Amino acid sequence: MAALKPLLDAECGTTNPLIKLSQFYTRDNTLVTQDGLIKPATNNFTNANLTGGSNATIDELVNEYHRPIAAPNTFHLEGLLTGLRLADDTIDNTNKHEYEWTTQFLDSLTNDFSSFSTNTKTNNNFSSSMIHPLSNQQIQTSQNIINDFNIQQQQSQWMPWNEQTYIPSTSTFPLNSNSTFLDQQSSTVDTGFDNDTVKAAQNIFALLQETQFAADSEFKDFVENVAGGIGEKSTVDAKKQEATGETKDVTVDKWINEFSNDLSNESEWQHDWAADAANLSSLDDQIPRSQSWLRHLMDNDDSYSEYKFSKTNVFLDHSNPFEEGLKRLQAHDIVNAVLLFEAAVQKQSNHVEAWLYLGITQSENEQDGPAICALKKCVELDPKNLQAYITLASCYANEMLTNEALDSLRKWLANNDKYSHLLSNRRSQTTTNEPRLIDELVFEELQELFLQAVSLSTNPNDIDSDLQVCLGVLFHLPGDYDKAAECFNTAVLAKPDDALLWNKLGAALANGGQSEKAVDAYYHALTLSPGFVRARYNLGISCFNLSAYKQAVEHFLTALKQQSDGIGPQGTHVQMSENIWRTLAIAIGHLQRPDLEQSVGKKDLSKLLHEFKIE
Amino acid sequence: MTKEDQNSSSSVELKAKTAFDEINKRAKNQPAIVKKIGAIVLFDITKDGKFQQSWTIDGKQGIIYEGKPNEGATAQVTITLDDNDFFDLALGNANAPALFAKGKLKVKGNVMLAQKLSILFKEQSKL
């Protein structure tokens, strides 16, 4: 019996190994049925997990939202800790919640095994199918629960799209993974719990004693400790933050003050905590919280307000530059397309499409600065231009302007007839009109909205590739590159001939450290669009990361050459990308050729091209 | 260079010092890069579990210096990690989310701000 226990017993929040095994089996079947339409054109992404995974992912997403939250088994830990936290609060609903979670906990224990496993099956599909660093941990049965949970919570800082967030949060169990924003450290400061918490813990402990559920786990120890009046308060704090994260600033403030006052000892932890609280309440020097975000936006506004046109543009006198621009774009002649669109807007400054295409092509031309300028002009003229918003989001993401990127994504959603209703539904919960102060709140909210949007499509073959791109950009922002890559991959499945999508996929893979796969994606992009400067630049970067410095240099030089070909052979005012020159310099540095470094410094392109034999 | 270091920091040689020197070099080539971070980030470097030295990346002023944030500046993110791990991070051999998941990197404060640091460590591929 004891030997079988690890096999059959489920740890809190995970599923038992036998059920897991059966999951793999059933999952495979899912893959097969969708096979015909999902298999990509080329074979380099036949990593079943990547493709099938994302579809099963979407499937699961849909199921998540349609399935009622029956068994709160997966909520165990949160419920308990929430209960602990709530018991700790001086807020009125203490008693109510205490009973609520106790009941729930008891209920969950008596739930039948199959419902438990079906719920967690969903969860584990993510952990098993995706490139998930913690998947191993979850499969080990001896893993202690607290660690698991803590890591999940902490890990979710970097990968917010973890299983728990798929389950729509109820008011009792705020599931946002923002838990440890303010204090990530699970410090082992022994601060006392007050009576309510201790009582609650004693309750749990009693229950635990009766069941074999968490028999020898550290969780039990933890509860024991809490019951005894000591323990890691930080975990509780984490939940505390989580709970109040969703409510208005006032509550957060109140809670911070409350909390600072509650602490009775003078540990370093408390000092740090208070410092953080101070930080939170004065984010940007002395600027009131609600305006710091706005100011950040305004600061950046200046650099992107006026588009700087090329000094020499041979196409300025062209009769119909816009049309010609489109043609050049079709022919993948990005650089000339840029010039033509510039001419088009100079001819007619309210030409929405021209600004849009100027933005898009400049972005492809590895010039995000001008791209942002152009796109901003476009949305000024046409505030409902979805393509502009989605391109803006990518550009802002590249420039590390997180707030602006989130803002663009939100606007895409708000102006999208298919999904705008999701935003208006949400509006009733919180006032979303005022600018949000902290990135993470906006991020969490947007994440939920986008996931809801994805779940709207009941047909798994109907992939809204734009939506997937938005989701991908969203995940890219906090550095969740694996998930971003999954989304872009899904988008690519729907539109395998879109070079931009292949490039995005490559970039997400590369930033996540998967350079070889990235190279593959870039080759797809470049095959489809040989003049795609950005893809070539990215390819160079990946070669660099793989230590293929000579190849990297060659790619950078090719990219620069393409850019300089855009203007006549004299090319004194060539609009080449600073990024590419800079990275070229670094790459050449690795080649140990001081003579070349001089040429780079002088931007002597022809000499370098000659040196590396590039026509 | 080393003699000075041994006077200012504790008598332990930190790889982080070399790394930060490299980062500063890179920042000089690209003046706007530190400002892109836009926030004040404090790095607490430890070795064998013991705190060794701090470095501040002031994304508002666009400067990087040894020690805690100067007067009037408060760190919006504090990152604590071991000297070796930081070196890997700075070389681009490790990435912050992975270190974080392994529990090697601790963050206090706005996590999304911390993410922006990657531009200092390696070339970002563009979406």
Residue pLDDT, tens place only, A174-184: 334 444 444 44
With 50 as the cut, is the pLDDT of residue A534 above it?
yes
Report chain B residues whose CB lies below 8 A from the CB of A538.
125-126
| Nearest residue of chain B to residue A519 (CA atoms) | B125
Does residue B113 fall inside a structural domain? yes
Of B74, B112, B125, the CB nearest to A511: B125
With 80 as the cut, is the pLDDT of residue A409 above it?
yes
Identify the helix (H) or strand (E) that includes residue A19: helix A17-33
Q: How many A×B Cβ pairs under 8 Å?
A: 122
Give residues with Cβ within 8 angstroms of B86, minimum separation 6.
Answer: B15, B16, B19, B43, B45
Phi–psi pair at A575, nearest 5 degrees: -95, 75
Q: Which residue has the higher pLDDT, A178 or A577?
A: A577
- Going by pLDDT thresholds of 50, 70 and 90, the confidence category of residue A538 is very high
Give residues with Cβ within 8 angstroms of A517, minimum separation 6.
Answer: A44, A506, A509
Structural domains in chain A plus CATH codes: 528-614 (1.25.40)
| Nearest residue of chain B to residue A391 (CA atoms) | B127
Sign for the pseudo-dihedral over CA of A177, A180, A184, A189: negative
Does residue B117 fall inside a structural domain? yes
Does residue B1 fall inside a structural domain? no
- What pLDDT, on the 0 to 100 scale, is given for residue A173? 39
Tokens of A591: 């080649």
Does residue B4 fall inside a structural domain? no
Residues A183, A196: Cα–Cα separation, whole Å: 23
Residues A220, A270: Cα–Cα separation, whole Å: 27
A439 and B127 in contact by Cβ < 8 A?
no
Distance, in angstroms, between A319 CA and closest chain B CA? 33
Does residue B112 fall inside a structural domain? yes
Range of the domain at B103: 12-124
Q: Is the separation of the CB atoms in A94 and A87 below 8 Å?
A: yes
Give residues with Cβ within 8 angstroms of B44, minimum separation 6.
Answer: B51, B54, B78, B79, B80, B81
Residues A372, A298: Cα–Cα separation, whole Å: 14
Does residue B46 fall inside a structural domain? yes
Report chain A residues whose CB lies below 8 A from the CB of B95.
479, 512-513
With 70 as the cut, is the pLDDT of residue A484 above it?
yes
Alpha helices in B9-126 (DSSP H): 15-29, 33-37, 83-91, 96-101, 111-115, 118-121
Of A158, A399, A542, the CB nearest to B101: A158
Q: Is the separation of the CB atoms in A241 and A178 below 8 Å?
A: yes
Three-state DSSP state, A602: helix
CATH code (residue B61): 3.30.1050.10
Amino acid present at A108: S
DSSP A364: H
With 70 as the cut, is the pLDDT of residue A478 above it?
yes
Q: Which residue has the higher pLDDT, A443 or A571?
A: A443
CA distances from A24 to A17, A84, A122, A482, A571 (A): 11, 36, 11, 21, 60
Q: How far is CA A199 from the centre of its chain?
A: 39
A507 and B119 in contact by Cβ < 8 A?
no
Does residue B73 fall inside a structural domain? yes
Report chain B residues whose CB lies below 8 A from the CB of A133.
98, 101-102
Q: Is the separation of the CB atoms in A465 and A501 below 8 Å?
A: yes
User: Per this entry, what is the length of chain B?
Assistant: 127
pLDDT values of chain B reduced to their tens digit, one per residue, 127 residues: 444 444 444 456 888 888 888 888 877 777 678 888 888 899 999 998 898 999 999 888 888 899 999 888 888 889 999 999 998 888 777 777 778 888 888 888 877 777 788 888 888 999 9
Alpha helices in A214-367 (DSSP H): 218-228, 233-245, 249-262, 268-281, 289-303, 321-330, 334-347, 352-364
Phi–psi pair at A516, nearest 5 degrees: -65, -45
Distance, in angstroms, between B98 CA and closest chain A CA? 8
- Going by pLDDT thresholds of 50, 70 and 90, the confidence category of residue A13 is low
Does residue B2 fall inside a structural domain? no
Tokens of A212: 């074999």
Q: How many domains does chain B have?
A: 1
Of B78, B102, B115, the CB nearest to A478: B115
| Nearest residue of chain A to residue B74 (CA atoms) | A279
B127 and A443 in contact by Cβ < 8 A?
no
Q: Is the separation of the CB atoms in A592 and A607 below 8 Å?
A: no
